[in-house]
A = this chain, B = another copy of it.
Amino acid sequence: MTEGQVFKGDIIFTPTPQGFVSFRGGYIVVLHGKVEGVYKELPPLFDGLPVHDFGRRLILPGFVDLHVHASQFYQSGVGLDQELIPWLHGRTFPLEGRFADPEFAREAYSRFVEELIRQGTLRACIYATVHKESTAILFELLRARGIGAFVGKVNMDCHCPPYLQETTAASLQETEELIMRYNGHPLVTPIITPRFAPTSSVELLEGLGRLAQKYNLPVQSHLSENKEEVEWVKELFPSLPTYADVYYHFGLLGRTLTLMAHAIHLSERELELIENSAVWLVHCPEANINLSSGIMPARELLDRGIRLGLGSDIGAGHNLALYRVMVRAIQLSKLRSIEDPRIKPLTTAEVFYMGTKGGGSFFGRVGSFEQGYSFDALVVEDEPLITAGFSLEERLQRFLYTGEAGQIAARFVEGNRIG
């Protein structure tokens, strides 16, 4: 990274969910990896800085994937004729079992990381598996490639196959070992990752809550994806009033920054717990249809001011491409709107915000080109002969709906080119 640099092109981003800001042939000045400003004309002050001139290409914030299972990459697109619980047991757990072998993990995680970056995702919140050594490999691979990530060793000490089940003590100890080894890096750091309430004993949840507080680490888990799952949690934790209360009770919801994926079937009490604390909900539209889970009420959540990001949720979702996930979020919102016209569909700006600045805020100043934001950016080559008469917003729309990874010509994280 040079100390100062200038990026020129057709710039577009969403400072708010209400709409796009764009600069045709504009300039982004980047100092020490952070955006200093975006300009129609380059101020003379920055005349001496090197200019990366991308001509009429689009420059947009990199995508932020708030929920993805790296270990499930090989199974994406198969076995999607089942709902959550049978899908976990029939497909997902057997594949995750293979990550006991570090050689397999290195191969599978390498392919995952390359495809994630190819598709333009530059920040991600990632589940590994229960295996410490494989998880360490994923940390190393991500650090070597230069994108931003939270990486979670999964914790499971009950209600899973014997080949994945940990003892509570070992689960907590190995998690802490990884924390001590990998905390403190500028881009790739640990996140506390109980898989979900049903595969966690009370002791595990208590221990993970303690670790989150001890190291001030963020937490990620699954919440209310499937009705059968919600009922199961009620049976397993009869003394706690709701699913969200399980995490809350053990210090795993909002005590530190928290991600909860899916959040389809939430009660009013759960929404209140969430909106008053540092919780981001993750909309995973592709996965939610593939496993027949339902449609997240994203419009109502946005209207309440709840923080929302997008997740590919590989392998229940099948698209690592977050631009396709954005389109699916719009499509599902239209289906809700057909049922009830009072629910307005999500706009392109809203889903783009969710997949950039909305999710990026979990990482800090990420996902926008406002001053002080990390310069995480994609350069997209669109089809100039087709889109000649289009606005920048229309060109971006066309890329989100019809684009392919091959159109992403360059990727920058914190001002460094990484692909």
Interfacial residues, chain A to chain B (CB-CB below 8 A):
74, 76-81, 107, 111, 289-290, 292, 294-295, 318-319, 327, 330-331, 334-335, 337-338, 345, 347-348, 385-386, 390, 394, 397-402, 404-406
Please give, as numbers and ranges, the residues of chain B lying within 8 Å of A398 by CB-CB distance: 76-78
Query: Which B residues are CB-close (under 8 A) to A327?
Result: 318
B81 A348 Cβ-Cβ under 8 A: yes
Interchain CA distance A348-B77 in the complex, whole Å: 11
A290 to chain B, nearest CB (A): 7
Contact A401 B80 (CB under 8 A): yes
Query: Which of these, B292, B337, B404, contacts A334 with CB under 8 Å?
Result: B292
CA distance A235 to B284 in the complex (A): 42
Query: With the chains together, A338 CA to B386 CA distance in Å?
Result: 39
Additional A-B contacts beyond A81-B345, A290-B334, A295-B335 (12; CB < 8 A): A74-B386, A77-B399, A78-B397, A80-B330, A107-B385, A111-B385, A289-B331, A289-B335, A290-B331, A294-B338, A319-B402, A404-B404
Which residues from chain B contact A292 at a C-beta distance below 8 Å? 334-335, 337-338, 345
> How far is A314 from B111 in the complex, measured between Cα atoms in Å?
33
* B77 with A400: CB separation less than 8 A: yes
Sample of 30 A–B contacts (CB below 8 Å): A74-B386, A76-B398, A76-B401, A76-B402, A77-B397, A77-B398, A77-B399, A77-B402, A78-B390, A78-B397, A78-B401, A80-B330, A80-B401, A81-B347, A107-B385, A111-B385, A111-B386, A289-B331, A289-B335, A290-B334, A292-B335, A292-B337, A292-B338, A292-B345, A295-B335, A318-B402, A319-B402, A335-B335, A404-B404, A404-B405
